[in-house]
Amino acid sequence: MTETVGSALRHIRKGRGESIVAVAKATHTSPASFTKWENDQTVPSERSIRKLADYYDMAPTSLLALAYPTKYATPTEQLSMAGKTLIRAEDLFSSDTVLTYDGHALPDDRKQLIAAFTAGLFLRSKQSN
């Protein structure tokens, strides 16, 4: 799965145990903007990414490559994404999505069970890295 800039920002923030409001205030950003970034509704500007990287005491290159892959991703990263459809796992389980198997819509309880299992796989993967 390809990570998005929003999921990376959320992972960093939660890993530090900070709230959206605290990070937004410290980086002179509105909490509403930060929420939109984390939910991949909008992409932070390069300037905002650099401010966040400075706040998190990290190099901005990895975040910039996620937000602006054609400008900042390495040629290898660009090739690995070329011609592929990016699907966020979160979108598979949203209330607006109908998940099907073998041509039949899955009931909500099955969809929730699959979502919980998938979340567990991702958490386990992050813990082993």
Residues 6+ apart with CB under 8 A from 61: 72
Q: Domain range for residue 108?
A: 89-128
Give the confidence band of 38 by pLDDT, cuts at 50, 70, 90: very high
Interatomic CA distance for residues 64 and 12, integer angstroms: 14
Does one domain contain both 23 and 73?
yes
> Can you give the pLDDT at residue 1?
41
Q: Indicate the number of domains in the chain.
A: 2
- For the stretch 52-108, pLDDT in tens is 999 988 888 888 888 888 788 776 665 566 566 666 666 777 777 888 888 899 898
Does one domain contain both 36 and 93?
no
| Residue bearing the bigger pLDDT, 10 or 120 | 10
Interatomic CA distance for residues 42 and 44, integer angstroms: 7
Does one domain contain both 113 and 70?
no
Amino acid at 54: D
pTM of the predicted structure, to 2 decimals: 0.57
The pLDDT mean for the chain works out to 83
